[in-house]
């Protein structure tokens, strides 16, 4: 049995998903529970937003708005043990909204903007290199798959469902992305596409 106080105290490191109890508790105004959720999921939300928007300012906006929306929408959350999917859906919708805002004057929201990365002081030079490699060497879909798996902890099957693509495609794109990153990291050749 999950004990809420233990989750709040110890965080969610051992949980495979966000427990429903935590969100129910947030719906009743428990700010400790909200902070626990924030600390656990902020990297996932921020990483996913950054993987789509390729701009740290926009990703920060999405991170902020996402958690405000979570707080507001917690009373309508309806369990099923899919808290993580619920949160990432909110994040996804905000990213789409952000893309639309960006592209109001253009027919196609899929822009070709320059990558913009401005990282906080706690991020090391090594972190910046890794993020730049993720952003530059991977396609949008590959990057989303990598972030959803490595940062958010979704299984490949869940990612296939979230992104609406076949599982074998997710597996092969994941493997291809990891291979690209490994080569880049080992100082080998970059992808040749």
Partner 1 sequence: MTNKQIEAKIKQAFDNAAPDSFDSVIADCVEQNGEVIFMKENKKKNVIYKYVAGIAAACVILVLGVFGFNYYSSNYAVDSTVSLDVNPSIEIKVNRNESVLEVIPLNEDGKTVLGDMNLKGSKLDVSVNALIGSMLRNGYLNDISNSILVSVDGKNSERSAEMQKRLSDKIASLLQTDSFSGAVLSQTIQHNDDTQSLADKYGISAGKAQLIQQIVSNDSRYKFEDLVALSINELNLIANHGTEDIGSVESVGTASDKGYIGESKAKEIALNHVGAAESDIYAYSCEIDFESGIMVYEIEFKCNGFEYSYDIDAVSGKIISGEKEKDDDVKPSSGNAGNTGNTGNTGNTGNTGNTGNTGSSKLIGADAAKSAAFKHAGVSAANAKKVTCKLEWENGRQVYDVEFDCTGYEYSYEIDATSGKIISHDREIDDDYTFPSASAGGTGNTGSSNLIGADAAKSAAFRHAGVSAANAKRITCKLEWENGKQVYDVEFDCAGYEYSYEIDAVSGKVLSHEKEVDDDYKSSSAGTGNTGNTGSSKLISADAAKAAAFKHAGVSAADAKRLTCELERDDGIQVYEIEFDCAGYEYSYEINAVSGNIISHEKEIID
**Smallest distance from partner 1 to CB 113, Å:** 14
C-beta of 113 vs 124, nearer to partner 1: 124
C-beta of 136 vs 140, nearer to partner 1: 140
**Smallest distance from partner 1 to CB 97, Å:** 8
C-beta of 114 vs 193, nearer to partner 1: 193
Q: Which two tokens stand for residue 65?
A: 């708005």
**Smallest distance from partner 1 to CB 75, Å:** 8
**Smallest distance from partner 1 to CB 168, Å:** 4
């Amino acid at each position: 049995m999950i004990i809420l106080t233990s989750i709040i105290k110890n965080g969610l490191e051992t949980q495979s998903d966000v427990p429903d109890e935590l969100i129910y508790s947030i719906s009743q105004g428990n700010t400790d529970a909200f902070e626990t959720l924030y600390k656990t999921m902020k990297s996932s939300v921020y990483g996913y937003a950054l993987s789509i928007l390729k701009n740290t300012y926009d990703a920060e906006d999405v991170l902020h708005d996402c958690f405000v929306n979570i707080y507001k929408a917690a009373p309508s959350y309806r369990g099923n043990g899919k808290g993580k999917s619920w949160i990432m859906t909110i994040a996804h919708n905000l990213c789409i909204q952000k893309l639309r805002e960006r592209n109001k004057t253009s027919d196609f929201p899929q822009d070709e903007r320059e990558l913009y990365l401005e990282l906080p002081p706690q991020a090391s030079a090594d972190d910046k290199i890794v993020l730049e490699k993720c952003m530059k060497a991977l396609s949008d879909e590959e990057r989303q798959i990598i972030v959803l798996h490595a940062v958010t902890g979704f299984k490949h099957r869940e990612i296939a469902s979230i992104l609406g693509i076949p599982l074998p495609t997710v597996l092969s794109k994941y493997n291809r992305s990891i291979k690209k990153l490994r080569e880049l990291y080992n100082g080998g050749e970059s992808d040749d596409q």
